[in-house]
Each structure stands twice: as C-alpha cells, then as structure tokens.
Structure 1
C-alpha cells in the first residue's frame, strides 16, 4: 500500500490523542494534580510533535494526489496544530474541559476519517 507509512502515523497519532485524554482525566480531573514538566509533559509532547511533523507532509501529499472527498489542506494543518496543543494542555491544571474535549474529538474525527478513507482505497 502506497500510503502505509501515512496510515501507520495516523494510527499512532490516534493513540497519542487517546493518551492525552487519559492523562487529562487521570491527573487533572480525578487527582487535580500537576505533573512534572521535564519527566512527563516534555517527553510526551516531543513524541507527539515528532510523529505529527512526519505525518503532515504525507497528509498533504495524500490530499493533493488522491483528492479524497471531505479532506482539505487547511483541515490537516489545523489537526497538526491541535495535536501539538492538546499534547501540552492535557497536563495543565487550568485547561478548560469543554474546549479540550472538543479539540480531542476534532482530532479523532479527522484521523478516523483518514483511516476510513485509506481503507476504501
């Protein structure tokens, strides 16, 4: 499959997206505790950024070559940015729950749609 790496990176980003939601639930909602930036937040955010930075050029190439319905470059750029933001917001005590959940849902919607679109090809 031509888009295997793109598919794999999309899957990994979905895992990170779910991990961010779980971190938020466990540390912020349930415990109300901040976590150590250097040992927890930075490594997670760096992993997400590394994967997202590999994913974005492939995502753009996919949209330009395959022209999938309902996917646009701006959407993918926004998803990339939201992934980077959510990977840090998941650990902040002052994160607004509604906004954070909507961001997580938006990311998941795009990544799930990509997965489904790739499966149809």
Structure 2
C-alpha cells in the first residue's frame, strides 16, 4: 500500500481536477440548460464525493500524524462541505457567481496547501 503522503497527494490532485471541471461547467453555461437530477447531477455528485470521502479519511490521518502548522481538521471538514456545494451549484443557473468562485478558490487553496506541505515535508514531488 502507498504511503500516507502519496495517497493524500493522489486524492488531492484528483479533487483539484474535479474542482476545475465544476468551475468549467459553471463558467461555460452547462448550468443554463435544463438539468436532469438523476441522470446528470446525482452520478457526478456520487463519483466526486466518493473520492472526497477517501481524501478526507487520508487527510484527517495525515493531519493527526504530521501535525502541519497551517492545516487543521476543521479545514478538512469545511473543504468537504465546499466540494459538495460546488458540485451541486455548478449545474444550476441561479447560483451566485461570487459565492461559487469563493468556494472554488477555498477548495483549491486547501488542496494546494496540502500538496505543497506534503511535498515540502518529504522533499519529493509526487
């Protein structure tokens, strides 16, 4: 099994990709079409939240083990909630653009911080 640091970086990079996919969907107007919840939203939500669940488990273990200075368990919980909101809001036309971009940046910041901190502490690029 991979080391904890490798797993946390792997899941963080996957979530960064999903985060950007949601931003692209939001910005490119897919959300303006009629969205079928069970055919479009639910499968996307379930796929991403499955990765997010694995990421959270690894991230919490990593925070407990490594005790990084600027990353805390509360941020992990908030990031999970933000990811869930981003997925859902990326599909709907009545989403506030400022709120959406703030959530996107928040998720990106935490994920980038974890990747950076992990690579710095191991002096290895994954």
Residue of structure 2 equivalent to 1:54: 54
Q: Of 6, 23, 26, which aligns to 1:24?
A: 26
Aligned length: 119
Secondary structure of 2:113's partner?
helix
Tell me how far 1:25 sits from its aligned partner: 1.0
Q: 1:52·1:80 contact (CA, 8 Å) conserved in 2? A: yes
Residue of structure 1 equivalent to 2:33: 33
Secondary structure of 2:94's partner?
coil
Tell me how far 1:39 sits from its aligned partner: 2.4
Q: 2:12·2:111 contact (CA, 8 Å) conserved in 1? A: yes
Structure 1 unaligned blocks of 5 or more: none
Q: Whole-Å Cα distance in 2 between the matches of residues 27 and 119 of structure 1?
A: 36
| Mapping of residues 1-121 of structure 1, within 5 Å | 1-27=3-29, 32-121=32-121
Q: 2:4·2:58 contact (CA, 8 Å) conserved in 1? A: no
Q: Whole-Å Cα distance in 1 between the matches of residues 83 and 110 of structure 2?
A: 11
Q: Whole-Å Cα distance in 2 between the matches of residues 26 and 36 of structure 1?
A: 18
Q: Whole-Å Cα distance in 1 between the matches of residues 51 and 106 of structure 2?
A: 18
Structure 2 unaligned blocks of 5 or more: 122-126
Tell me how far 1:48 sits from its aligned partner: 1.0
Q: Whole-Å Cα distance in 1 between the matches of residues 88 and 41 of structure 2?
A: 7
Task: Output the aligned Cα RMSD.
Answer: 1.4
Q: 1:27·1:34 contact (CA, 8 Å) conserved in 2? A: no
